[in-house]
Each structure stands twice: as C-alpha cells, then as structure tokens.
Structure 1
Amino acid sequence: MKWSLSEINKKKYIDFNESLELAEELKGRSQEILDAKNVQAIGSVAYDDGLYYLDYQLKANLTLPSSRSLKPVDYPMEVFVSEIFSTEDEMKNNEELLNSDMIFNLEKDLIDLDESVADNILLEIPLKILAEDESEEDEALPAGQNWTVLSEEAYAKAQAEKEKEAKEKASPFAGLSDFLNEK
C-alpha cells in the first residue's frame, strides 16, 4: 500500500486495515526470517503542518531459527509503530526539523506502508529465541570435561558468589565464624 503526498494532503487523514504479503521481501532482507505469515497493519496516515504521521498496530507471525539449535520457532509479533515524515523542502525551511532525529526525510513523493512494515519487523527480531523444548529450565546447557556453557544470569550469579567468598576470606573475623559454629 502506497499513498502519494498529494493524496494525503488532500484528504488530511486516511484510515487503513491492510493484510500484507511480505514473506519473500523479508526473507531476502534477512537470513533470520524463515517465513512471515498473517502480516497485518491497522492504523492511519495523516498530514498536519508540513509533517506526515504514520501510526499503526503491526501484527505478524514469523518463523525464526532457534538461537541454540536452529530449529524453526514460531514467533508471534505485535508492535505499535509511530513514524513522522517530512519533505526535504520542508526540512530546509524549518531548522528544528532538520536537527530532529525522530523525523524521516521523504526521498520520494509517497509513503510506502510495505517498506515501513518490513523495516519495523526487521528491527523487532529478538536476538535470543528458543524452542519450547530448549528453555533453560527444561534442558541443561552443553558441558564437557572441565568446561560448561553458562547463561548470562548463571555467570553473574557465580561471579557474585565468588566475590562474596573472597570478601569473607579477606575479613579479619573470618576465623571466628568457624570457632562459633563449633560450639
């Protein structure tokens, strides 16, 4: 779905409810995405005082590889997107807009919903995704002779315990605790 700037200027406000077929585009842009289904955007595009506002609720069902085993994992996604656009001429005339990182400069005379949705899906892909049978509670991390793989949480806990033990041993009263425990 694309809207020309003149169409948006004329209507000032346009509601939309679009189902998008973006699986091939997303797979071409990221090896992380194995499939994308039920991509839907519900929202509006509006014009006010030189700015174009694109606000929508994005829903999609992605298939991503597990971070641990590369098994396909279904990942439902729901995100609210709010983007502000302006033309290059408008940005030149308004220095505040030029210095704003929150406003996108329109390179064409149109706003492309497909492009926005694809970009926002790619931004929302998590770094860590596990299949149900791979959760840390259900399956131990790999280990071998004299080595183990730790999660960040387990590593932080082990470091805290080491620091606590080191402080206790450094205390001049550490020997007294053994003496008091004997009685």
Structure 2
Amino acid sequence: MKWSLNEITKKKHINFEENLDLHEELLARSSEILDCSIIETMGEVNYEDGLFYLDYQLKTVLTLPSSRSLRAVEYPMEVVVNEIFTTKENANENQELLDNDMIFILDKDLISLDESVADNILLEIPLRVLAENEEDEAMPMGKFWSVLTEEDYKKQQEEKQDEKKSPFVGLDGLFD
C-alpha cells in the first residue's frame, strides 16, 4: 500500500487497516527468517506543517531458527511504529529533528507502508530465539569445554577474583 504526498496533503488524515503478504520480500532480505504469516496492520497517516506522520501497529508470526538448535520456532510479533517523514524542500525547516535522526527525508513523492513494515520487522528480530523446551535444557558441553550463560560466566569471574585474594594463591602450581 502506498500513498502519494498530494493525497495525504489534501486529506490531512487517512486511516487504514491492511493485511500484507511480504513473505517473499522478508525472506529475500533476511536469511534468519524461515517463514512469515500475513501481516495485519492498522493505523493512520497524517499531514501537519510539512511533516507526514505514519503511525500503525503490526501483528504477525515469524518462523525463526532457534539460537541453540536451529529448529524452527514460531515467534509472534506485535510492534507499534511511529515514523515522521518530510520532503527535501521542508528538511531545512525541521533541522533539529533531522539532526536527532527523528525524521526521514523522502526520496519519492510517496510513502510506502510495505517498505516501512518490512524494515520495522527486520529491526525487531530478536538475537536469541529458543524453542519451549530449550529454556530449561542444560547448555551443551564436551570433555574439556562447556557453554556458559552470562550469569554463570560472571559468577565464575567473581570466584576467580576471590581466589586471588586468598593467602594461598602464591602456592598455586607449586606441585605441577
């Protein structure tokens, strides 16, 4: 779905409720996404003083590989998006917002909902995705190695610091 800037400027306010199929685009843009259901969007586009406001909520279910086992995991996603756009001509009037990276300058005379939705989904993909039973599973380990969580690693480092404070630390390695 796309809106021309002239249409938005004339109407000042446009409500929308769309179901988008961006499956192919998302799979092409990210190797992490295995599948994507239909994306439900609901929101509005507004125009005021040279600024175009795109506010919407999106809901979808992504299928992502587990961070631990690479098994497919369904990840429900709900994102609230608030974006502000301006034209190149109006960019100087909103220099403070531009300096703070609060607005986007439009290259074309249109706002694309599909582009915005795809970009925001890609930004919201989590780094760690685990299947239900993987949360409680022990971390993998081998004969001389093991995977530690950040908390376990911090505890291990604190214990090493405590050991160094011991008066017997000088005897460490004496009989090796």
Q: Fold conserved (TM > 0.5)?
A: yes
Query: C-alpha deviations, 1:70-110, integer Å up to 9, x for none?
Result: 11000000111000000001113443344241100000000
Check the 8 A contact 1:91/1:97 in 2, yes or no: no
The structure in which a higher percent of residues are helix is 1
**Separation of aligned partners in 1, 2:158 and 2:98:** 47
Check the 8 A contact 2:71/2:131 in 1, yes or no: yes
* Structure 1 position 79 matched with structure 2 position 73: no
Pick aligned residue for 2:144 from 137, 143, 146: 146
Give 1:38 shift. Answer: 3.0
* Structure 1 position 109 matched with structure 2 position 114: no
**Separation of aligned partners in 2, 1:91 and 1:97:** 9
- The structure with the larger Rg is 1
- What percent of counterpart residues are identical? 62
Q: Which runs of 5+ in 1 are unaligned?
A: 172-183
Give 1:20 shift. Answer: 0.5
Partner of 1:33: 33
**Separation of aligned partners in 2, 1:119 and 1:94:** 23
2:111 counterpart letter in structure 1 = I
Q: Which runs of 5+ in 2 are unaligned?
A: 169-176
1:155 counterpart letter in structure 2 = Y
1:91 counterpart letter in structure 2 = A
User: Could you say what the CA RMSD is over the residues aligned between the two structures, in angstroms?
Assistant: 1.6
Q: How does 1:1-183 map to 2 (within 5 A)?
A: 1-135=1-135, 137=136, 139-167=137-165, 169-170=166-167
Check the 8 A contact 1:66/1:72 in 2, yes or no: yes
